[in-house]
């Protein structure tokens, strides 16, 4: 028998009174929909750490794109870098709305990302190696955000809305680096301006 919204609210209010915790209907309805909220929070915090750390590493990789060839690549890496920052900020509100939080220690937060592979290559100005690292990062992000989409589709519209918009931009980023490395046409035009984030701008105020 379906639980009515009035019964759900009154029941959670009673439980909240007994344990002195707030009644978070926005979480309760997700649990009723079949969402494992703890697993979802874990996935979101992990993804946030990856996006934050990728932003740092892409900053360093971009700085080492030198010479005529490297200068031509800076703008593309810059677009991906700034949009990774947008992705980090885009998922923060959902983490806290769901009852999660970020680690207290920034080093713990960065370490959980597993992004050490984005450190500069042995030859720090080897543009091909830099592009390969960027591609690997974008492909990993696609897997990460697709997982969140699968966890939330049809169950958690708010988180799904954020995740699918981030996923869309990550797929575009992958296409850019595939085009540069393998001459596989992406079919994309350049962003109108650095950090345009056409899909996630509504979720993040990081870039204005």
- Within a domain: 19: no
pLDDT tens-digit profile, the chain (208 residues): 555 766 666 666 656 555 578 899 999 999 999 999 999 999 999 999 999 999 999 999 999 999 999 999 999 999 999 999 999 999 999 999 999 999 999 999 999 999 999 999 999 999 999 999 999 999 999 999 999 999 999 999 999 999 999 999 999 999 999 999 999 999 887 888 888 898 999 998 877 6
Q: Is 64 annotated among the ligand-binding residues?
A: no
Which tokens go with 86?
């947008």
* Domain containing residue 170: CATH number: 1.20.1260.10
| Token pair belonging to 128 | 């091909």
Q: How many of the other CB atoms lie within 10 Å of CB of 110?
A: 18
What does the pLDDT read at residue 194? 86
Q: For position 11, what pLDDT does the model report?
A: 64
pTM above 0.85, yes or no: yes
Quick check: is 189 in a domain?
no
**21 assigned binding-site residue:** no
Q: Is 42 among the domain residues?
A: yes
Q: What is the CA radius of gyration of the chain?
A: 20
What is the reported pLDDT for 188?
84
Domain residue limits at 176:
35-182
pLDDT at 192 (0 to 100) = 87
- Total domain count, the chain: 1
Residue 138 known to bind ligand: yes
pLDDT for the residue 118:
96
CA angle 202, 38, 13 (to 5 degrees): 90
């Amino acid at each position: 028998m379906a639980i009515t919204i009035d019964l759900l609210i009154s029941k959670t209010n009673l439980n909240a009174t007994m344990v002195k915790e707030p009644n978070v209907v926005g979480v309760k309805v997700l649990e009723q929909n079949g969402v494992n909220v703890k697993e979802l929070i874990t996935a979101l915090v992990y993804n946030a750490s990856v996006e934050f750390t990728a932003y740092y590493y892409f900053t360093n990789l971009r700085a080492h794109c030198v010479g005529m060839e490297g200068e031509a690549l800076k703008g593309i890496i810059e677009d991906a870098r700034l949009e990774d920052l947008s992705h980090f900020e885009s998922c923060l509100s959902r983490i806290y709305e769901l009852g999660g939080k970020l680690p207290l220690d920034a080093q713990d937060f960065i370490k959980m990302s597993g992004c050490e592979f984005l450190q500069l290559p042995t030859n720090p100005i080897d543009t091909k190696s830099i592009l390969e690292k960027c591609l690997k990062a974008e492909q990993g992000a696609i897997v990460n955000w697709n997982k969140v989409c699968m966890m939330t589709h049809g169950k958690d519209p708010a988180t799904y809305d954020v995740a699918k918009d981030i996923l869309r931009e990550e797929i575009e980023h992958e296409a850019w680096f595939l085009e540069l490395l393998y001459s596989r046409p992406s079919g994309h035009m350049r962003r109108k301006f650095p950090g345009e984030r056409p899909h996630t701008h509504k979720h993040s105020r990081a870039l204005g």
